[in-house]
Structure 1
C-alpha cells in the first residue's frame, strides 16, 4: 500500500506543480489570449456538457482507435515479414525510408481526393502516420531475436506460425510496444489535425470553431480535454503493456534485485 501511495505521489507531483505554476503565472492576466486558469476551469463544465462529449469527444476517440488499430495491425504484420526476410528488407527499405519522410499532414489533401471528407479520410490520416513507428520498431525487434534461440526452435521442429507466436513476437514485444507508444501520441496529434479539415464534429473541429469565434477560454478548455485524453490513454496503454509484457518486466525486476 505504501509503495502504491508513493508511486501515486510521484505520478501526480509534477502535474500538480505545473497547475500551481500556471495558476500563479496567469492570475490577474488581462490578456485576451492568455486568460487566468481559474476562468478556464470555471468555463470548462459549461462547455463540455454531456451532449458535447457525445457529439465531439466520442467521434474523435472512435477515429483515433480505428486509425491506431489499423496502423498496429499493418505495422506489426508488415514489420514481422520485413524483419524476418533479408531480401524483402533489402527491397523495401528504400521505399520505406522515402514514405516515412513524408509528413502525414501533407497527405491530407491527397487522401481527401480518394477518401472524401468523412471519417474514412480521418482514420486513413491517423493510420498513415501511426504505422511508421510501429513498423520500424517491429522490424528492428524481429531482427534482434536471438539467433541461438531461433536455431534451437528450428532444431526442435518449432517452425511457421508456432515459432512466430511463441518466439519471434514475444522476443520482439518490448520493441513493438515502444513503437506502439510512440504511435499513440502521434495519433492524437493527427486526430486533431485531420478534424481541422472539412469536419463537422470532433475535438479539433470544436477548438478551431472556438478560435474563429474568439471564445478563447472555451478554446483553452478544448486543449485541456486533449491533455486529459492523452493522459487517460497513456494510463490505459501502460496497463495493457504491463499485462502483455509481464514476463519482461518481471525479468527486469529480478535482474535489478540480483547482486
Structure 2
C-alpha cells in the first residue's frame, strides 16, 4: 500500500470513531429516558425533566441578560469567579515554584519529600482546617481550590524544568544569555509541554474543588444550590446541577485544549518533523 493510501486510511479512522460516539450519545440518552420512565424511581428522574429543571433554574431569563436567571447570576457567576481565581493563583504559584525547584538540585532534594507528603493528603480532608483558618466564605473556598489544584502544576513544572536538554543550556552559555533570557528563551519553552500537561489536569481538579468547597462552606454557588436541592428533596434540581457541572467540565477542557494547541503549535510541528 502506498504512503498516500496509508495516510488516507489512518485519517479516516479517527473520523469513524468520532462518528460512532456521535451516534452513541443520543442512543444512551434515549435509553436513559426510557429506563427511568419505566422504573419510575424517585431519585433517578428522566433526562427530559432534568433539562426542563435546568432551563427553569438558570437559563430562562431575559435575552438582555443572555437568558440567565437571577439564580444563575447568584450561583454561576460566583462559582466561576472562584474557580478561575483559584486556578490562576495555583497555576502561577505552581509554575514559579516548580521551575525554581527543577533548576536547583539542592533545593529540590530538600523540599521534594515535603511536596510528596503534601500532595498525598486529600484536599477534602483539609476543609475543616481551612474553615478554622479562614471561616466560611470566599477565602476558605479559594484556599481549598488552590491547595487541590497546585500539585499537578508544581510537579509537572518541576519535572519539565529539570529535564531541559543540556545542549540548550550550553548553547545559551555560549551566546552569553542572561539568567532571565535563559529562563524565557530556553527553560520555559523546553518545559512548556510538561507544564501544560499539569495545567490541563488542574482544570478538572479546580472544578471538583470548587464544588466540594461550596458544599461545605458557602451560602452561594452551584455546590450550595445542589445541597439546598438535596435538603428540599428537589431531585431534578440536584441532577440539573450535576449535568451543569459536566457541561462546564467539557467546555473548560475544550477551551483549554484550543489554547494548548495554539501555544504549543511549534512543539507539535517539531515533533511531526514539519
* TM norm structure 2: 0.86
Q: Hey, what does 2:52 align to over in structure 1?
A: 42
Pairing 1:14-163 to 2, within 5 Å after superposition: 15-49=25-59, 50-163=69-182
For 2:191, the equivalent position in structure 1 comes to: 172
1:244 and 2:263 matched: yes
Q: Which has the larger radius of gyration?
A: 2
Contact 2:212-2:223 at 8 Å conserved across structures:
yes
8 A contact 2:141–2:217 mirrored in 1: no
CA deviation profile, 1:45-93 (whole Å, cap 9, x unmatched): 1122421111101100000001100000000000000000100101001
Shift, 1:252, TM fit: 3.1
Instruction: Tell me: CA distance 1:134–1:53, structure 2 relative to 1, closer, same or farther (3 Å).
Output: same
Distance (Å, rounded) in 2 between the aligned partners of 1:183 and 1:252: 25
TM-score (normalised: structure 1): 0.91
27-36 or 176-185, which deviates more = 27-36
**For the residues of structure 2 that align with 1:18 and 1:75, how far apart are their CA atoms?**
39
Alpha-carbon separation, structure 2, partners of 1:35 and 1:202? 23
Distance (Å, rounded) in 2 between the aligned partners of 1:136 and 1:18? 38
Partners in 1 of 2:128 and 2:225 — Cα distance? 21
Structure 2 CA distance for partners of 1:136 and 1:18, relative to 1, 3 Å: farther
Worse-matched range after superposition: 34-43 or 162-171:
34-43
| Distance in 1 between residues matched to 2:24 and 2:203, nearest whole Å | 22
Alpha carbons of 1:120 and 1:34: their partners in 2 closer, same or farther (altered >3 Å)? Answer: same
* Long gaps (5+) in structure 1: none
Rounded to whole Å, the distance in 1 between the matches of 2:95 and 2:25 is 33
Residues in 2 aligned to 1:20 and 1:171: alpha-carbon distance in whole angstroms? 47
